[in-house]
Amino acid sequence: MSPDKHALRAKYRKLRAEMSEEQLELGSQLIAAQTAKFLMLHSDLLHFHLFFPMARQREINTFLIKTLLDSKGATVYTSRVSKHSIVMETLKLKPDTRFAMDSWGIPLPQDFELADASAIQVVFIPLLAYDQAGNRIGFGKGYYDVFLEGLAPSVLKVGLSFFPPEIHIPAESHDIPLDYCITPENILNF
């Protein structure tokens, strides 16, 4: 990992840690409102992969987005990490899926069916930072890099961020850039 990426991870972890609960919730609501606009612009898309928020990482409350997708009649997927690798298994959810926290504080669906990822048209991607070209920095484990690599190139990759883009983030050959990033104020297209 480059020193630049390490510094950016530290910067955005600190920015998130400094947000109040009210700021987190308002930011999540505004991102959900921008996501509703994105869905109107892409009404032909019906299969969405969504991550769910880890409270300790101070992530966007994506349960608000799940509610939007369910109301649209979309099919919602999420993933869980396979026990012995960094490969993520695709889980197809129901509108009334219940969730429980695992030992890492990750909300895991209790009702799901294992699914093939080939139907997915949009992946909402967790990230710490991104730049004006759509390059992104996640938490550094590589789960989404491996997951995205296995999807069709036509799948839209949509980041969600409380913050505006950096000017430039160093990209590596295995990095897959975003197509869009949704913030509280904007829908950015790269």
Report the distance separating Cα 120 and Cα 102, nearest Å: 25
Higher pLDDT, 56 or 156: 156
The pLDDT, as a whole number, for residue 98 is 95
Q: What is the pLDDT of residues 144-158, one digit of tens each?
A: 888 999 999 999 999
| Count of Cβ atoms closer than 10 Å to residue 146 Cβ | 14
The pLDDT, as a whole number, for residue 1 is 46
Handedness of CA 37, 97, 163, 136 (dihedral sign): negative
> Can you name the residues that pair with 99 across neighbouring β-strands?
109
- For the whole model, what pTM was predicted? 0.93
Phi, psi dihedral angles at 112 (to 5 degrees): -165, 170
Average pLDDT value over all residues in the chain: 92
Any idea where the domains of the chain sit in the sequence? 3-189
User: By the 8 A CB rule, do 28 and 55 touch?
Assistant: no
Element containing residue 107 per DSSP (H, E): strand 107-109
The pLDDT, as a whole number, for residue 3 is 54
pLDDT band at residue 114, thresholds of 50, 70 and 90? very high
Report the distance separating Cα 52 and Cα 126, nearest Å: 9
Phi, psi dihedral angles at 128 (to 5 degrees): -100, -40
In which order are the strands placed within the sheet that holds 112-115? 112-115, 88-93, 75-81, 47-49, 122-125, 156-160, 180-182, 187-189
Structurally, what CATH architecture does the domain formed by 3-189 represent?
A: 3-Layer(aba) Sandwich (3.40)
Q: Which residues have C-beta within 8 Å of that of residue 90, sequence separation ≥ 6?
A: 49, 77, 78, 79, 114, 115, 116, 117, 120
The pLDDT, as a whole number, for residue 2 is 54
Q: Return the closest-CA partner of residue 35 out of 55, 59, 60.
A: 60
